[in-house]
């Protein structure tokens, strides 16, 4: 959360603004930029999305040095004072920060005692105030040595044209050529501008100018940092769609087809040939939708005869489990930068577990730190709510479970088995839109299911609440009568999920109980309800095809959330209070 970018070169205002637009998914509470030219700082700040900064900017084609920031508020309200860049007391040094400084209260108290004054409430301003004047590598090191927490920092000093930097637990990348230098939270900012880039690792700090790059770790200069090639990016537009979320849901099918093609072409045994055998347990770890994907996959691993559990990354330190050198820990993360998931990985590494990751960003921290990474290849997800990447996570985990069960089987067996699963019919969006409109006035929406459908219900409720801001919850249908039924009145609507014929009668009984109390029930089903249809107010049938038929249900729930959000006037691509990449604990 929060995106930072620094640049040395011509047209810095334009380059930094374009970069901020690419980083906006990391937070959009406010944005700011400081440009240094001829020893003078010019600062622009604006509340709201990055576009709000544009009208304030004075674009200048000449050479300059600049740093910029798009904020997801952690400490302090959304205000101009709390907007980055932040300055030291004599206004000679400024910085942008992504991360959280956990000991900022102690540091601030100390600075106040030493006569420093503060204009805002952020932990980042505290770091700025720790600098006197005259930035040097040594001073950067001595400041960051006093910080506890996470940071990617870019700093400017009025008296020189270098950008100083430091990194711990939050991503930071550098690219440069003879004419320009860029530092940023996301390497995709380099695409089409640079040929290659360097990934900074935790504990590294240094400075960069047009002529020289110096990177240090533990007081020693790093000689040859590893260089990675940049991608040529395809322009990502909306096409015929009104929002990225709808577009990305629509891409699910092609993402899954591409994955099958990949496994088919490379051969599943080849792809996984370096994956060790003999694990006693599979532990799936993630947050939010990624955790929900893990919950579904847990069933696949258990069906494959493997002892399996799924743990929320943020809870791993507080739960009882026996993760050890015989555990295969699978870290699921679209962004590959989720701080809770990274921390959980450190936890498992300490216990000598084998770490496999499933990410949608190949250069991400989680991908780099794991022993083995599976690239989701779902394509960039611009909408904050995860859709096609979530389905891809479930799909790749399905394949992995298959592989662990059938280590010697041929890819052909698998392809034959799964091809039919994703040969699903397109879902009739109009029906879903109609339901969204019909049940829009509900004051409470909740999702029920049984077995794996109750896990789908969990994802359905998450998607709905995050983009439509409606209170939504989920539970296994049998649990209703044990408490939550008290919430039901004529303003409540239930979405019942059914992908298994054996659960239909139980779901129908729950529907009757809800309707008896005035609530409405819509059934999303891939099995024929027959006479039980009468137990529901509305039924949406989704074509079923084999074991992977949950894809249809997932898409239907995602579209339902999308249309509810639209009809409530919410922007599903950038929901309030959220950011795409959660790089704070």
Catalytic positions, written as ranges: 2, 580
**Which DSSP string do the residues of 15-38 spell out, in sequence order?**
HHHHHHHHHGGG--SEEEEEEEET
State which residue, 295 or 582, has the beta carbon closest to ligand F6R.
Answer: 582
Q: What is the 3-state secondary structure (H, E, C) of 311-377?
A: EEHHHHHHCCCCCCCCEEEEEEECCCCCHHHHHHHHHHHHCCCEEEEEECCCCCHHHHHCCEEEECC
Q: Three-state DSSP class for 261?
A: helix
The helix (H) or strand (E) run that includes residue 449 is strand 444-449
> CA 298, CA 282: separation in Å to the nearest integer?
8
Q: How far is the CB of 539 from ligand F6R (least distance, A)?
A: 26
**Which DSSP string do the residues of 185-228 spell out, in sequence order?**
S-GGGGTTT-SEEEE--TTEEEEE-SS-EEEEETTEE-SS--EE
> CA 367, CA 369: separation in Å to the nearest integer?
6
> CA 352, CA 358: separation in Å to the nearest integer?
19
Q: How far is the CB of 223 from ligand F6R (least distance, A)?
A: 33
Q: How far is the CB of 388 from ligand F6R (least distance, A)?
A: 11
Q: Is the C-alpha dihedral spanning 527, 528, 534, 540 positive or negative?
A: positive
Collect all residues with Cβ–Cβ distance below 8 Å to 490 and sequence separation of at least 6: 518, 519
Q: How far is the CB of 359 from ligand F6R (least distance, A)?
A: 8
State which residue, 268 or 385, has the beta carbon closest to ligand F6R.
Answer: 385
State which residue, 386 or 552, has the beta carbon closest to ligand F6R.
Answer: 386
> CA 212, CA 449: separation in Å to the nearest integer?
60
> CA 168, CA 581: separation in Å to the nearest integer?
16
Q: How far is the CB of 467 from ligand F6R (least distance, A)?
A: 8
Closest-by-Cβ residue to ligand F6R is 288
- For the packed helices 411-422 and 388-405, what is the interaxial angle rounded to 10 degrees? 150
Q: CA nearest 393: which of 303, 293, 300?
A: 293
State which residue, 341 or 525, has the beta carbon closest to ligand F6R.
Answer: 341
State which residue, 188 or 503, has the beta carbon closest to ligand F6R.
Answer: 188
> CA 88, CA 76: separation in Å to the nearest integer?
18
> CA 230, CA 226: separation in Å to the nearest integer?
13
Q: How far is the CB of 331 from ligand F6R (least distance, A)?
A: 9
Query: Which segments within 464-537 are labelled E, that is strand?
Result: 472-476, 492-498, 520-525
State which residue, 124 or 289, has the beta carbon closest to ligand F6R.
Answer: 289
The helix (H) or strand (E) run that includes residue 432 is helix 429-438
Task: Give contact residues for ligand F6R (rule: CB under 6 A).
Answer: 287-290, 333-335, 338, 341, 385-386, 462-463, 466, 582
State which residue, 153 or 461, has the beta carbon closest to ligand F6R.
Answer: 461
Place of tokens 């770490």: 355
Residue 85: cis peptide before it, omega within 30 degrees of 0: yes
Q: CA nearest 7: which of 192, 183, 186, 214?
A: 183
State which residue, 8 or 367, has the beta carbon closest to ligand F6R.
Answer: 367
What is the separation of C-alpha 195 from the centre of its chain, rounded to a whole number of angstroms? 26
State which residue, 74 or 88, has the beta carbon closest to ligand F6R.
Answer: 74
Q: How far is the CB of 375 from ligand F6R (least distance, A)?
A: 14
Q: How far is the CB of 345 from ligand F6R (least distance, A)?
A: 11
State which residue, 393 or 503, has the beta carbon closest to ligand F6R.
Answer: 393
Q: Is the C-alpha dihedral spanning 52, 54, 55, 58 positive or negative?
A: positive
Q: How far is the CB of 62 from ligand F6R (least distance, A)?
A: 39
Q: CA nearest 232: which of 176, 182, 181, 194?
A: 194
Place of tokens 């990617």: 152
* Three-point CA angle 82, 26, 247, nearest 5°: 140
Q: How far is the CB of 338 from ligand F6R (least distance, A)?
A: 3
């Amino acid at each position: 959360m929060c995106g930072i970018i620094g640049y040395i070169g011509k047209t810095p205002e334009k380059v930094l603004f374009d970069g901020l637009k690419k980083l906006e998914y990391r937070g959009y509470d406010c944005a700011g930029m400081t440009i240094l030219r001829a020893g003078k700082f010019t600062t622009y700040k604006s509340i709201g999305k990055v576009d709000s900064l544009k009208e304030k900017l004075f674009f200048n084609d000449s050479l300059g040095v600049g740093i910029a920031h798009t904020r997801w508020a952690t400490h302090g309200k959304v205000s101009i004072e709390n907007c980055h860049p932040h300055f030291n007391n004599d206004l000679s040094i400024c910085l942008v920060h992504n991360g959280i400084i956990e000991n900022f209260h102690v540091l601030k108290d100390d600075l106040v005692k030493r006569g420093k004054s503060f204009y805002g409430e952020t932990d980042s301003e505290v770091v700025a105030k720790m600098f006197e004047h005259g930035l040097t590598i040594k001073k950067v090191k001595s400041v960051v040595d006093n910080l506890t927490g996470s940071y990617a920092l870019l700093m400017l000093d009025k008296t020189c044209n270098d950008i100083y930097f430091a990194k711990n637990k939050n991503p930071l990348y550098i690219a440069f050529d003879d004419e320009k230098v860029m530092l940023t939270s996301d390497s995709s900012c380099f695409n089409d501008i640079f040929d290659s880039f360097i990934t900074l690792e935790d504990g590294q700090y240094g400075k960069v100018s047009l002529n020289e790059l110096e990177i240090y770790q533990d007081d020693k200069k790093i000689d040859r940092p590893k260089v990675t090639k940049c991608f040529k990016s395809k322009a990502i537009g909306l096409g015929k769609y009104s929002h990225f979320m709808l577009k990305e849901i629509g891409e699910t099918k092609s993402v899954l087809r591409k994955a099958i093609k990949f496994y088919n072409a490379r051969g599943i045994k080849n792809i996984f040939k370096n994956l060790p055998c003999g694990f006693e347990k599979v532990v799936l770890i993630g947050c939010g939708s990624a955790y929900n994907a893990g919950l579904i996959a847990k069933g696949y691993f258990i069906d494959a005869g493997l002892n399996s559990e799924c743990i929320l990354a943020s809870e791993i330190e507080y739960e009882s489990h026996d993760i050890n050198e015989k555990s295969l820990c699978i870290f699921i993360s679209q962004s590959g930068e989720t701080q809770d998931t990274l921390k959980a990985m450190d936890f498992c590494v300490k216990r000598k577990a084998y770490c496999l990751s499933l990410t949608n960003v190949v250069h991400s921290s989680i991908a780099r730190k794991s022993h083995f990474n599976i690239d989701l290849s779902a394509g960039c997800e611009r909408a904050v709510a995860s859709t096609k990447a979530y389905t891809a996570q479930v799909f790749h985990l399905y394949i992995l479970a298959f592989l662990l069960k059938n280590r010697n089987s041929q890819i052909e067996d698998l392809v034959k088995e799964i091809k039919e699963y994703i040969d699903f019919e397109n879902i009739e969006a109009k029906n879903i839109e109609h339901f969204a409109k019909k049940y829009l006035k509900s004051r409470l929406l909740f999702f029920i299911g049984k077995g794996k459908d109750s896990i789908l219900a969990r994802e359905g409720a998450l998607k709905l609440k995050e983009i439509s801001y409606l209170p939504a919850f989920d539970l296994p249908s049998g649990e209703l009568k044990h408490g939550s039924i008290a919430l039901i009145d004529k303003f409540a609507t239930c979405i019942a999920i059914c992908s298994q014929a054996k659960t239909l009668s139980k779901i129908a009984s729950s529907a009757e109980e809800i309707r008896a109390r005035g609530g409405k029930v819509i059934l999303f089903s891939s099995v024929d309800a027959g006479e039980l249809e009468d137990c529901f107010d509305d039924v949406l049938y989704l074509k079923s095809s084999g074991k992977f038929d949950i894809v249809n249900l997932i898409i239907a729930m995602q579209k339902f959330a999308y249309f509810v959000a639209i009809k409530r006037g919410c922007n599903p691509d950038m929901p309030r209070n959220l950011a795409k990449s959660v790089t704070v604990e």
